Structure 1
Amino acid sequence: MARQQFQNLTEPMYYILISLLQERCGVDIMKSVIDISKGRVRVGPGTLYTLLGKFEKEKMIIETKIQGRKRSYIITDKGKEILLDEYRRLITMVNDGEVYMEGEI
């Protein structure tokens, strides 16, 4: 099921998973997404915690610690595999379009 549901990641999904290559709490994930995307992508708390729940359910991330209301997460091997598949898919798309877009950019 996870393979099909997460076949193509949305931008927020992609950047959240990249962010979780290091252990982070929710606030730090939101800041990291902004940093990684150079401000182009922002994730609000509603979107973030919805996606974290889905990722955790599919064992793409695990919760690493809880301090009061603060919860930290990190990507699992399964999550890394899905992230890497998406990275390769995006590279393939760019490469496929490169010849056709030459001179258009």
Structure 2
Amino acid sequence: LAKEGEEGAVPGPDLVAAMAEQFAESANNVIIEEVNKGLNPGMIVLLVVATTLLLFFVGNYALYLYAQKTLPPKKKKPVSKKKLKREKLKQGVSAPGE
């Protein structure tokens, strides 16, 4: 075992108690700095941009819901005569006029 004073020596119980007491006393001497400078300009910009985006998306969603309730359903596009003829030929029915 290493002797006291040498590196790697195990401190005695008196030394441990003294160090614990010193640490407890020094914990009360911590200086707490409270600096209240107001809001950081970067934080203000971030809040404004975030609020604007949030309002934009909430407004769009509200308009979407309103449109779903009030607008009539979309009309389907009329099927062209060529497509009708092609479908009938696929089904084996002869197209009129042939």
Name the TM-score class by shorter chain. under 0.3
Higher RCO (C-alpha under 8 Å, 6+ residues apart)? 1
TM-score if structure 1 supplies the norm length?
0.26
